[in-house]
Structure 1
C-alpha cells in the first residue's frame, strides 16, 4: 500500500476548489488529467455526496465522494479494476490570513491484484513526482477557472 502526501497553496477559496473537485460535467479532464471524459459516469449525486466512476489509460475506479465537511473532501474507492482496500483520496483545506488556501491531499493506493500492487508500488516511489505534477496542474486549472 502506498500513501502519498501532497501540498499546495492556492489563490482559490476552499469553496472554489470543492466546486472544481465536484464538477462531474463534460470537460472534467481539463481540471483532472487522470480523469478522461470517456470513463466518467455519475451513478448518484446529492448536495454533499456523489458516486462516480472515473479513470484514464485503462485504469478506472468508482469513488464515493463526501464533501459534507466544508473543510474536507473524502473520496473512497468502492470498486476498481486495480485498487481496493483503503484506496482513495482526501483533500483538506485551510484558509490562510492572506486570503489564500492551503490544500493537503492524501492519496492511498492499495492494489487488489498484481497490476494494482505494481502500479501502487511505482506511485509510492518514482511515481510520486507524476502525481505531484498532476496535482499542481489541477490547482492551476482551478485557479484559471475562477479567474485568479
Structure 2
C-alpha cells in the first residue's frame, strides 16, 4: 500500500477549491488530467456528497465524495479495476491569513489485484513527483477558473 502526502499553496479560496473538486460537469478533465470524459459518470449526488466513477488510461475508480466539512473533501474508493482496501484521497484546506489556501493532500493506493499492487508500488517510489506535478497543474487550472492570480507553489 502506498500513502503519498502532498502540500500545495494556491491563491484560490477554500470555497473555490471545493467547488472545483466537486464539479463533475464538462471540462472536468481540464482540471484533473486523470479524469477523462470516457469514464466520468455521476451515479448519485446530494448537497454535500456524490457517488462518481472517473479515471483515465484504462484505470477507473468509483468514489464516494464527501464535502460535508467545508475544510475537507474526502474521496473514498468504493470500486475500481485496480484499487481496493483503504484507497482514496483526502484534501484538507487551510485558509491563509493573507488570502488563498494551503492544501494538504493524502493519496492512499492499495492494489486489489496484481496490476494494482504493481502500480501502487511504483506510486510508492516515484508517485510523489508524478502526483505533485498533477496537483500543481490542477491548482493552476483552479486559479485560472477562479480568476485568482498564481499562488505560491510547493
Q: TM-score, normalised by structure 2?
A: 0.95
Number of positions where the alignment pairs a residue of Structure 1 with one of Structure 2: 148
CA positional deviation for 1:69: 0.3
CA positional deviation for 1:89: 0.1
Quote the residue 1:56 is aligned against: 56
For the residues of structure 2 that align with 1:146 and 1:96, how far apart are their CA atoms?
17
SS of the residue corresponding to residue 85 of structure 1 reads coil
For the residues of structure 2 that align with 1:2 and 1:102, how far apart are their CA atoms?
23
1:16 aligns with 2:16: yes
Quote the residue 1:29 is aligned against: 29
Quote the residue 2:142 is aligned against: 142
Segments of 5+ residues of structure 1 without an aligned counterpart are none
- Deviation per residue, 1:97-125 (Å, 9 max, x gap): 11121000000000000000000010111
SS of the residue corresponding to residue 38 of structure 2 reads helix
1:43 aligns with 2:54: no
CA positional deviation for 1:127: 2.5
For the residues of structure 1 that align with 2:39 and 2:53, how far apart are their CA atoms?
7
Give the superposed CA RMSD: 0.5
For the residues of structure 2 that align with 1:126 and 1:31, how far apart are their CA atoms?
22
CA positional deviation for 1:38: 1.0
Segments of 5+ residues of structure 2 without an aligned counterpart are 149-154
CA positional deviation for 1:96: 1.2
Structure 1 segment 55-94 matched on structure 2, within 5 A: 55-94=55-94
Matched-pair contact (CA < 8 Å) for 2:82–2:113: yes
Quote the residue 2:152 is aligned against: none
Q: TM-score, normalised by structure 1?
A: 0.99
For the residues of structure 1 that align with 2:52 and 2:62, how far apart are their CA atoms?
5
